[in-house]
Each structure stands twice: as C-alpha cells, then as structure tokens.
Amino acid sequence: LYDPNCNGKQVMVHLFEWKWTDIAAECERYLAGAGFCGVQVSPPTEHVILPENNYPWWQRYQPVSYKLFSRSGSEADFVDMVHRCNSVGVRIYVDAVVNHMTGTGRSGTADGGSTYNSVGDARDFPGVPYSAEHFTPRDQCPSGDGNVNDYSNPANVRNCYLVSLTDLYGKLDYVRDAVAGYFNHLIQVGVAGIRIDAAKHMWPEDIAAVLSRLNDLPTDQGFPAGSKFYVFQEVIDQNDGAIKVDEYYDTGYVTEFRYCSKIAWGIKDYGQLSNLIDYGWGMARSDRAFIFTDNHDNQRGHGGGGNVITHENPRDYKQAVAYTLAQDYGFTRIMSSYFFENSDQGPPSNGGYSTADVTINADGSCGGGWVCEHRWNVMKKMVEFRNLVAGTTMSNYWNNGNAVAFSRGNQGFFAMAKQGSMSETLQTGLPAGSYCNIIDDCASSIQVGADGMAQVNINNYEEPIMAVCVGCGG
Ligand code: ARE
Ligand code: CA
C-alpha cells in the first residue's frame, strides 16, 4: 500500500496523455537508465469521446467501462507496455477513475465497443455492467441540484455528483466487487499501483473495502512475493473544506496540494523555503505525502488551479523541481506535459482524435508539441541525486533569503541561488574530498575540507543549482 514497488527508487513521472507504445519505448530508451521508479499513465479505461469539445484531454475522466481501451491504445498495447517497462525495472501506475462514470446527459459508443447512456434517469453502462441502482441514491445527497456544491459538508462532497459526473454508490458490494475486479485485472497484468482519482469524493471505508479485495502483485512480473498494490489518493485539501488528507492515511498516500502553492511561494521568495513543510498548516506527514510542483489540472487552471510554477517558466520551474527532489519530504512525481493554448485542448494529434507520437530530437529533447520536462538535464540529474541520498535527512540548513543550501546526511549537498550567483563558505556534511556539480555536468566542483566546510560558488543564471553527492557524477 505504501511501497511503490520499484526497488527503493524515489521519483515517478506522469507521462500525461502519452500513448502506450511511446511509454513502452520511453521506459527502455530513457526512464530505466535515468533511475525513474515508474510512470503514472492517463486513465486506460474506455471513455466518452467528445468531438463537440474537440476531443479534450478530460474526456478520459468519464469512463464508460473498465475495458482497457482508450485514446492511448488498445489492451494489447497496454499489456505490452506494462511488460516491457517491468522488464527494465520501471513500474506503471494507473490513474483510476472509480468515483463516477460519465457526466449526466451523455450517450454513445466508446472505442472499445461498449455503449453508455446517462441521459435523463438512465445510468446504463453495460460494459461493466452498471445500471441505475449502482449509483448514489438522490436522497443521500444534500444538495439542491444533486451536484457537489458544499465542501464544508462531507455528505455533499461524497454523495453528490462531482461536476455532474454520475456518482457510483460505493457502499454496495456489487460496486466494490466491480471496482476490485478492475484493479485485480491491472494487478494481473503487472501494474504496480494506482492514483485514485477524486478519492476525496469517496468514503474512506469504501476505498478500504475495495483494497481489501485485492490480490498480491504477480511474481512473474518481478514483484517479490507478498507485494501490495501502491496507492496514492487524489485528495485536494487546501484548508478549504471539511475533508482532510489524514482521513485517507489508512488507504495509502495522499496528494499534498498545499506543497504546490508552498514551493511556488518559496521560489518567488527564497526566505519562504525555510518553512516549506508546514505541519501547522495541516500538511500530510512525510510518509503519506505524495508531492509535485504542478499536476495536469493545476498547470491549466483546473482542479482549483492556484499559483503554481509550470514549464512555461523554465528557469523557475527547474529551481522548483530541483528543490522538491533535493529536500527530504514525501514521495515525488515529476510532471511531463504537452504545450496547449486553451485549458481543454487535448494532446498533440494527427488530426481529430488520434494522438500523435512523441518525437525525440537528436539532443534528447522532445518535439511535436511535447514538453518532456522529465528529459531536461536538471530533472534527470536531480532524480539521480534523490535516489542516491534516499533515507538521509536534511541538515546544515542555510538560507539568506537569496540563496539556500543544505546537506542530505553525509551523502549529498545541495545549493541554489535565486539571482544566479552565490559565494559562501558552508558546512556540507560531506567527507573531505573533491565533488563535482552534476547539474552542470561536472564543469564546476567544490573542495570539502576535513571539517566538512567548502567554498560554494554558483555562477549560472539559467540553472543556478548545485548538487553534489558521494558516488555520483564523474
Ligand atoms: C467536464 C466538464 C464539466 C462537466 C463534466 C461532466 O469540464 O463542465 O460538467 O465534464 O460532463 C476533469 C476536468 C473536468 C471535467 C472532468 C470530466 O478537470 O473539467 O469535467 O474531467 O471529464 C475537484 C475535485 C477533484 C478534481 C477537480 C477537477 O475534488 O477530484 O475538482 N480532480 C480530478 C481530476 C480531474 C478530473 C476529475 C477529478 C474528474 O484530476 O482532471 O476532472 O474525474 C477546491 C476543492 C477541490 C476541487 C477544486 C475544483 O480546490 O478543494 O476539491 O477539486 O476546488 O473544484
Ligand atoms: Ca462519490
């Protein structure tokens, strides 16, 4: 439940809207070598298709059945991806949409062939199958129009329809069995875990009931016997409602959205980095916190949006992700995006509904509209750093409001300078010796004395970051 099942590796990447064929290739050609734990993939299940909205990315958050047939590919492609990634030690985590099915008022046939009808009182999803009695009864929802509209009332949040999405009745054994059946199918294929979408809108005991029905992970996909599905739950707790992240600790990790605001604030005003993790603010305990600088919603103003830093400001973004990976709180995920002009726009396409391949340029960056933040040199090097210092705590913390530095046990040392330069004599916590900065590919280095002190110089406006570690770099 709490172990991501990736051999102690520390960082996941969300390859948002990538096709299964491209993810399989990315595991083999890049992610394995770069030390990534695994990939969060977009929802793999059959979903509505919305030409009238120009095939927005969010159509995949309206499932039609649990058949593995989506805009990212067929079930055969999915299975091939999971197997190929597992065989190079990179795990797959599925974005699981099980709080609801489609929005109300929709009908049609999904790509995998299943029909759906949620027009009027109909709630027909024969591909599962679900019908009207499997959806939360209207009298359970204390809201005038049946939709979620009062975040101060847990029954409203969990029993009403989130943005008019038909809400599954998670109390029923039938629904719990159906959802567990979907998850056990993923497990049998070799998926290592899930993000539970809209977990905040599900009762924790309903989630627990589903998880209690799950099998161990299969040893034939390289999981040690007795391994459990890794779970992280999307609970947006910004101190703005009745639902708190700690209600979900027994069923897995929780997304910590306050971290997104905090790191954005900290990069704007380095002094704030000193109290980045604010337990007084109710932030989740470290061994339950799932953290990221931005996600597929808040980078485009969905899901409450907020002040977050994204790839659109590369200089700030590199600092935000570098700091996130350098410090010791939580389990980390890196976002990998595509460029967009409006917040509904789907991924790069070949026209219409067909998602374009990810193009890899000769220099290792991506083309064709894909941003591939996870391939930026700073991100790659910081993944290496975080893996190497895993298990150590932050110490020798120093912050003068313009530059910041700290050590990770006696394994690593990190420094960052907002204006692009710094020159300070600092305690590194490291054994004496010469260490090179992996961020600038060892163009600069520090000399650590017998007392652990070193002269730390940064002179690099675009990437004002230093990361050194025992046994990394050249
Ligand atoms: C779309 C249309 C809607 C339409 C609906 C049904 O935009 O107008 O009514 O379809 O036809 C995504 C998109 C939605 C989209 C949906 C379904 O973002 O725009 O709706 O897919 O296609 C809350 C929830 C949180 C949720 C965010 C978006 O708590 O769980 O809202 N996030 C997840 C995903 C989303 C996804 C869904 C859930 C649905 O990450 O990508 O929606 O599966 C405060 C509160 C938060 C609240 C936030 C925004 O911060 O504390 O709890 O988040 O405000 O309301
Ligand atoms: Ca619900």
pLDDT tens track of the chain, all 474 residues?
A: 999 999 999 999 999 999 999 999 999 999 999 999 999 999 999 999 999 999 999 999 999 999 999 999 999 999 999 999 999 999 999 999 999 999 999 999 998 999 999 999 999 999 999 999 999 999 999 999 999 999 999 999 999 999 999 999 999 999 999 999 999 999 999 999 999 999 999 999 999 999 999 999 999 999 999 999 999 999 999 999 999 999 999 999 999 999 999 999 999 999 999 999 999 999 999 999 999 999 999 999 997 777 899 999 999 999 999 999 999 999 999 999 999 999 999 999 998 889 999 999 999 999 999 999 999 999 999 999 999 999 999 999 999 999 999 999 999 999 999 999 999 999 999 999 999 999 999 999 999 999 999 999 999 999 999 999 999 875
DSSP 130: B
| Token representation of residue 71 | 């805009």
Pocket test for ligand 1, best of 118, 161, 195, 236 (most atoms within 8 A of CB): 236
Residues marked as catalytic: 197, 234
Residue nearest to atom 44 of ligand 1 (CA): 304
Is 375 within 8 Å of 387 (Cβ atoms)? no
Q: Which residues surround ligand 2, an ion (CB under 5 A)?
A: 99, 158, 167, 201
Cα angle 247-253-256, degrees, rounded to a multiple of 5: 80
Instruction: Give the residue, by CA position, lying nearest to ligand 1 atom 11.
Output: 103
SS3 at position 14: strand
Cα separation, 269 vs 231, in Å, equals 33
Q: State yes or no: ipTM above 0.85.
A: yes
Model-level pTM greater than 0.95?
A: yes
What residue's CA is closest to ligand 1, atom 14?
Answer: 58
183-221 burial, b if ≥16 CB within 10 A, otherwise e? Answer: beebbebbbbbbbbbbbbbbbbebbebbbeebeebbeeb
Separation between Cα atoms, residue 296 and residue 441, nearest integer Å: 30
Q: Which residues pair with 455 in a beta bridge?
A: 425
- Residue 44: phi and psi, rounded to 5, are -90, -5
- 193 neighbors 180 (Cβ within 8 angstroms): no
Nearest atom in ligand 1 to the alpha carbon of residue 61 is: 43
- Supply the pLDDT for residue 474: 57
Query: In this structure, what token pair is assigned to residue 52?
Result: 């009238």
C-alpha angle 214/216/219, rounded to 5°?
A: 150
Q: Of all atoms in ligand 1, which is nearest to the CA of residue 97?
A: 43
Centroid of ligand 1 to alpha carbon of 61 (angstroms): 9
Name the 3-class secondary structure at 328: coil
Give the C-alpha separation, 234 to 211, whole Å: 16
Ramachandran assignment for 260, one of left (phi > 0), alpha (psi -120 to 50 degrees), beta (any other): alpha
Is residue 88 in contact with ligand 1, taking CB distance under 6 Å? no
Q: Is the CB of 303 under 6 A from ligand 1?
A: yes
pLDDT at 306: 75
Distance (Å, whole) CA 410 – CA 376: 27
163 lines ligand 1 (CB under 6 A): yes
Ligand 1 within 6 A of CB of 55: no
Looking at ligand 1, which residue's alpha carbon is closest to its atom 26?
303
